[in-house]
Structure formats: structure tokens, C-alpha cells
Amino acid sequence: MSLTYWCERAWLPDGVADDVLVEIDGTRISRIEQGPPGSAERLPGLTIPGLANAHSHAFHRALRGTTQRGQGDFWTWRERMYEVAARLDPRSYQRLATAVYAEMALAGITCVGEFHYLHHDQGGRPYPDDPNAMGHALIRAARAAGLRITLLDTCYLSGGIGVPLSDVQLRFGDGDSERWAARAELLAAAYEGQPDVEIGAAIHSVRAVPPDQMPAVAEFSHRHAAPLHVHVSEQRAENTACVEMYAATPVQVLHERGALGPRSTAVHATHLTDVDIELLGQSGTYLCMCPTTERDLADGIGPARAAADRGARITLGSDSHAVIDLFEEARGMELNERLASSKRGHWPAADLLAAATGEGHTSLGFPDAGLLVPGAWADLVSVRLDSVRTAGASGLEAVVFAATAADVHSVVSGGRRVVAQGRHVLGDVAALLTEAIEELR
């Protein structure tokens, strides 16, 4: 089916243009030209490509507004997160994730990278009907909300360096990387040839995967030409324990085990050495920065600009979903650099938006998304330029440095209109979130 949208303004590869007609054939953009609207559907404001949320833990959304009381750090927050993880099953997880992904769609996100490690039933028992029941639930949720998904099936084998899994962590583990790979192969086979789903791999962290178990995960990524993501140096305590055990930083351990490269993404990358930055850059590894989560958990400010200068490519994620707003993540990366350096202007608005669009999609295995060009996925996100936040501003700076997710009024994802006039096709997303979260309490 062919559809045509007229964009009052649109961000094209060579800059912002007025009066842009975008013709869609099925799931793809078939033609782009400038001209009058005619009978085309009008999209006021500035239209940009769909955003890619490169790092998500869907069930963390249930923690929003509940972990900000009192004091603590990442590790106290993690205990609250485990309490939620202990309550989920495939049905409740699908219900929650559908609402979370719908919230993402309202924010202009058309593709999500779900870092998925909640694999098994209580006590680590595989679900009898399908060991990937939780993964299937997440994929059904993304499709219902109108998102493409890269399910980053995560290997998670230990509760810390040299520490066995315990309590709720038992739900995360497969025993060893070979058994993880066997289960992940079943998942990959189930979605082979389905264009809206990519099955990738993840090494949870050096805390959760011993070095001798990492090559099997990297091999899965190589065999399937699929993304490989890993939490890296989010906490100083992680670095200290890694150096004490392996006489190497987490980045060095991953490099030695073949886990870095142009299909790999280092998530967080908050506490890096100069050698780490050089290794990440030389290998062409992506860095996924999650500024709102780093602020919320008091993690720190990662050296994104230095890493990019060495060749690393930058993407963005909302991670714990303290906020789901990739505009906030994008400007947060720039504002963090300002705080750390006492200087302004580290990232042009176009570069920040590229991190949230094309770079993010490519890191998730969708290199044909994140640009408004013929042949690309038909993802159109239209942002109001007349709201109280954006009024009087213009161009990409208005979107990156002034707009919020609330200014997204229309989203076309893969040719499907999932948000119109700020409302999702599933209806009241706030009610869906409330019901799903209340069920877990």
C-alpha cells in the first residue's frame, strides 16, 4: 500500500528542508521530493527519522518514582530491581513491556535494543513449553506497540567475579555459555527471515561472565552477523574487582576475548582508562551512553567525546527508564561534557541526533533505518515546533536542546502510523502502564 506524507520541515541527509513529500510503499520509503502537499497527509513541525533506543531493560520501568526515596547507590538500587524481576512471568512481562514500548513509541522511538537476561522461571528452571518464553513475550510486546526489536539475548552466569548466582539471579543463568548458546540458537531460528526482529547477543558484564565463557557469545555474534552488546565499566567497583582478578580492565578483558569490534557496543563505558578508550576506538566498537540513568544512579560521566575522537561511534539508550526521552539523552551527553570540562559546544545538534537515529539503528542491526532516504525503513517522527518548549526556536537545535518526548505528535514506524495527534493506537498508555505495574506490587 502506498501512502504519502507532507512534512512542513524534514531533516534530510543534507540538512533541514521545507515542504518535503515522503512517499511510502509498504514498510519502506519509496520517494522523497519537495513540493506542495496536495492530498498528502500533513505532518506539521519538524519530521526526523525514527529514534533508536539502543539499550533497554523493559522491566526496570516499574521502578520509576519508587527508588528515588532516601539515599543509596547503584547497589542498593539493584536490590529493588531484583524484587521486580522476581515477580515477572511471561504473561505479566508481555503486558508490562507492551506498555513500556508504547511509551517509547510516543517518544518517537521506532526500534529498541532489549538487553534481555530474565530468561527462566523461579529457581532458574527453564519454562517447560519453551525455554525462550520470556524472549517471545518481549518480541510480541514490541510488535504490539509498533516497534522493531533487537533482542539482545544475554549470557549471565555469575553473581560477581568468582561469586555464584543466588536467589533471583538464578533466573538469569543457563549454567555455562554453551548452554546459553544452544538456547539462543533456538531463539534465532524462530525469527529467521523476519525483518522486524533481530536476535543479537550480550555479555552481561565481566562481573557476570567469566573470560573463558565470553568467546562462545562472541562466536554467536560472528556466526549470525548479529550485534553483541555488553555492560562495561559502569561502576568503579567493577573495575577494581576486574583488575584484582585478571590484572586487566573490563575493556582489556573483552578485547582479549574477541568481544570488541564494529558489531559490538559497550554500554555505559563510564569509568575508562586512556588505554580502554584507545582499544574501543581502534576496534570501531560503539559506545551506548545512557545519561539519564547515569545521573539517576549516581554512576558518573563517561568520556564519550574522547572515545568518539578515537573512532568509537556513539549511540543512546534509556536503560533503566527513569526517563524515556531520547532528546533528553542526546542533550544530556552534551551537557555532561560541559559539566566535566567547563566548556560548551562538544557536539553539534546534528551529531547528537545522528546518535539517536542512524547510529543507533545500525548498532542494533538495522543499518537501513534512521535516515530519510528512499529504500530506508519508513520511520517518520514529527515534533511540534509550536509548543511552550519549542516556540520561537527552529531547526535541529529546537528538537535536541528544547523539545521533550511530549512534543512528538506523530510517529510512522515501518510504514504503520502508530501515533497520531500524540495518541498511541493502543489507547491510553498511562493506564496500560499503571495496570501492568500495579500487578507487580
CA distance 376 to 191: 21
CA distance 277 to 232: 12
Q: Decide if 329 contacts 290 (C-beta within 8 A).
A: yes
Distances 240 to 112, 249, 367, 374, 416 between C-alpha atoms, Å: 31, 8, 36, 49, 48
Residues listed for the chain: 441
Question: How does 425-434 read in b/e, with b if 16+ C-beta sit within 10 Å?
Answer: ebeebeebbe
For residue 127, what is the DSSP state?
P
CA distance 194 to 173: 27
Of the listed 268, 271, 321, 346, which one is catalytic? 268
Q: Decide if 321 contacts 60 (C-beta within 8 A).
A: yes
Q: Per DSSP, what are the bridge partners of residue 18?
A: 9
Taking the CB of residue 210, how many other CB atoms lie within 10 A of it? 18
| Residue 319: active-site member | yes
| Residue 386: active-site member | no
Of the listed 319, 325, 379, 407, which one is catalytic? 319
Catalytic residues: 268, 319
